[in-house]
Structure 1
């Protein structure tokens, strides 16, 4: 059967039919995953076309998958973070949904308080087990969509659940029918898709679910879950690990439209951000993330990373308020007590801090030389210099200008000024006496007061009025 594609403007074959391939023994892809070796990446040199959807967005799982890896949040913390998600996502809902647990009184209270805020975005959704009591609970809470676990690799079907593929498929379809009967939108989480038989189970299941949704008049979303982080973005990589192949196949062979496709990845092999962006590029409208990337084992895709990736791919923030990224990081560290590794991009306290004197000299002359973008304007995080034995005069001058927010004021301190020379003598003395740690802001502030208290007061006055 031939159909005309509006995206490629060509006639394309569309009559693909993949039937469930049941089997007595599981296919564990032992040629790729022998367990006693590092997993292998195989190639079949088959490539699929880029297919960026008209609209792409981000969904959040901080309060579900993310919360499983940290000390449980309080209701107050969940509500505050949800408000920051709303601020970050902006009026256009680039952060489209946020996913909650519903099993404890605390989770339900937080969910209700977030819903009562009345935000259109992010929409509050949930994740449930496959039993009737959970369906009733979701309905009573007034939720319009819920995630349902639909494990799709033989590792889970045979070795965890003790079912065959046919039995698993019957079970999943029955659960989804029950959810549809209550008028709730199902979001089916295809767990462990990067170790699953794509044509023998994934595509037939996705197609059957899509048909159920069409019959019920309720769209069914498919979340492709790279549960173990095995996904590969390389062109020509073979299934089951190929991210382009998975997204293209769900879209082209199973008939799942882009707006009903979502990618959920983990970072076990350092590929989580690239894989999420690849899912966008090859046809998934949605990528699922968590704030700061918290989650099982190595974590989920960091939400802040995909916010920046969105801006890079689209050339616009589309109304997102990127300064909320800094507010989220500050709240995690100060209110929740979560320690962010200092060199974490966009949120770590040292992500735009330089120590090298030659870099500091470049920052003094033109900040663009060593800062990735205007982090002060976009993230409310000015580029700074950490002063140590390698910082030199330029590093100290840049610290003064950054600490007192003098940049652009016409009052910038030159690296050859007397106060910089005097502070450098004190700094050098510290390291000559055996110090091996970075100088803190408070220490440098005291040094400035010591060498020229009047100048310190003048700069502090400028800073106060600039605030």
Structure 2
């Protein structure tokens, strides 16, 4: 049974180490891949942003992957370069052969995976950990141990799995919400429980199958996770991983951490990755979307014109955004008067009422209206006068 730690442990004094898995789990998005040059470019930009760990690839895939990992290890980045491996001796040997010392090993721990995928049992999992992790450490590997499908694993068995890995020499453990089935309260409870049992850092690796990856990651960090796995644009299998831009944005703008983070550089990197992947950034994407500072609603615009903080938590310029007032069905008097003023024109209340009534009537009949053109025609044809 889970027994969350005392409430003071949820009051974190330091932000988590950021682990970016764009070049590993992100690249596992169906149909997506990065060239070696693209991997090096992205890794360098992540390093400049202050990402602490870059999970850069899977050496067992062959010489090309090993070569780019070897290049990254020799490149002098401040970030830890981490490889991903199955809990298999040959995988670890491939990592060590290309100069990688920070080695992540992963094995499934849920009944679904143990029984149906591996055809093994719990005892086999524990024995496998003992047989592989210890010798890897003796060979110079710094082991990060991951439990795949941890969120569908019995917590007591998971504790035993992690404890066995730590006893065998693992330096940290990864809790993988492989199918994104956690909710924030469950994420907090299980991470709190494990943090109270384990002497090593916990890396929380969430997926976004139900749209809760960012919330789960924040909850896991508050409950004791010292590292959070993310990817640029949330790239990853199925619905993807915790988006780096969303997680950092939440901790910066809501929780007050990562005070000097360069959000403009992050946005530029996300845009570059989007182009490489041929996946345009959705206009309403949190933190970096092109339209997130666009406003139409009359109530919102009226508030913004009086004080921007009424409907914008932070200035758009911090994240490379730009405020824009949009004329439309839900516009109010303040927006119409303000936009007319930008043209050095003044409208009286009757003129504004006439314009709004006309545009709403036309929108009830027709899609795709060019409201800006209609507004300019209105201004030129009415009794507006220069201010």
- State the Cα distance separating 1:334 from its structure 2 match: 3.8
Give the Cα separation in 2 of the matches to 1:148 and 1:429. Answer: 61
SS at match of 2:127: helix
Give the Cα separation in 2 of the matches to 1:231 and 1:177. Answer: 31
Equivalent residue number for residue 367 of structure 2: 436
Equivalent residue number for residue 381 of structure 1: 321
Q: 1:286 and 1:439, CA in 2 relative to 1: closer, same or farther beyond 3 A? A: farther
Q: C-alpha offsets along residues 22-77 of structure 1, whole Å, 9 cap, x if unaligned?
A: xxxxxxxxxxxxxxxxxxxxxx8965323145542221111111111152122333
Of 125, 148, 153, the match for 1:191: 148
Give the Cα separation in 1 of the matches to 2:42 and 2:313. Answer: 26
Q: 1:291 and 1:150, CA in 2 relative to 1: closer, same or farther beyond 3 A? A: same
Equivalent residue number for residue 204 of structure 1: 160
- State the Cα distance separating 1:318 from its structure 2 match: 3.7
Q: C-alpha offsets along residues 193-227 of structure 1, whole Å, 9 cap, x if unaligned?
A: 1211221x2122222221222xxxxx521101111
Q: 1:435 and 1:87, CA in 2 relative to 1: closer, same or farther beyond 3 A? A: farther
- State the Cα distance separating 1:304 from its structure 2 match: 1.1
Q: 1:373 and 1:251, CA in 2 relative to 1: closer, same or farther beyond 3 A? A: same
Equivalent residue number for residue 119 of structure 1: 77
> Structure 2 stretches of 5 or more lacking a match?
381-387
Of 199, 202, 206, the match for 1:265: 206
Give the Cα separation in 2 of the matches to 1:415 and 1:144. Answer: 67
Aligned Cα RMSD in Å? 3.5
Q: 1:387 and 1:111, CA in 2 relative to 1: closer, same or farther beyond 3 A? A: farther
- State the Cα distance separating 1:429 from its structure 2 match: 7.7
Equivalent residue number for residue 232 of structure 1: 183
Equivalent residue number for residue 256 of structure 1: 199
Of 48, 55, 72, the match for 2:33: 72
User: Are 2:223 and 1:223 equivalent residues in the alignment?
Assistant: no
Q: Give the total of aligned pairs.
A: 370
Q: 1:135 and 1:333, CA in 2 relative to 1: closer, same or farther beyond 3 A? A: closer
Q: C-alpha offsets along residues 264-306 of structure 1, whole Å, 9 cap, x if unaligned?
A: 1112233212211111111111111111112122211111121
CA contact (8 A) 1:385 1:398 kept: no
Q: 1:397 and 1:302, CA in 2 relative to 1: closer, same or farther beyond 3 A? A: farther
> Which aligned pairs between 1:84-99 and structure 2 lie closer than 5 A?
84-89=45-50, 95-99=51-55
Equivalent residue number for residue 303 of structure 1: 244
Of 115, 139, 151, the match for 1:182: 139
Q: 1:333 and 1:204, CA in 2 relative to 1: closer, same or farther beyond 3 A? A: closer
Bigger share in helix? 2
CA contact (8 A) 2:5 2:196 kept: no
Of 332, 346, 364, the match for 1:416: 346
Q: C-alpha offsets along residues 133-191 of structure 1, whole Å, 9 cap, x if unaligned?
A: 32222112211211111211111112211111111211122121232122111111111
Equivalent residue number for residue 293 of structure 1: 234
Give the Cα separation in 1 of the matches to 2:129 and 2:340. Answer: 62
Q: TM-score, normalised by structure 2?
A: 0.82
Of 263, 278, 296, the match for 1:337: 278
SS at match of 2:229: strand
> Structure 1 stretches of 5 or more lacking a match?
1-43, 90-94, 214-218, 235-241, 402-411, 452-467
Q: C-alpha offsets along residues 314-346 of structure 1, whole Å, 9 cap, x if unaligned?
A: 524243212123213322344432122222211
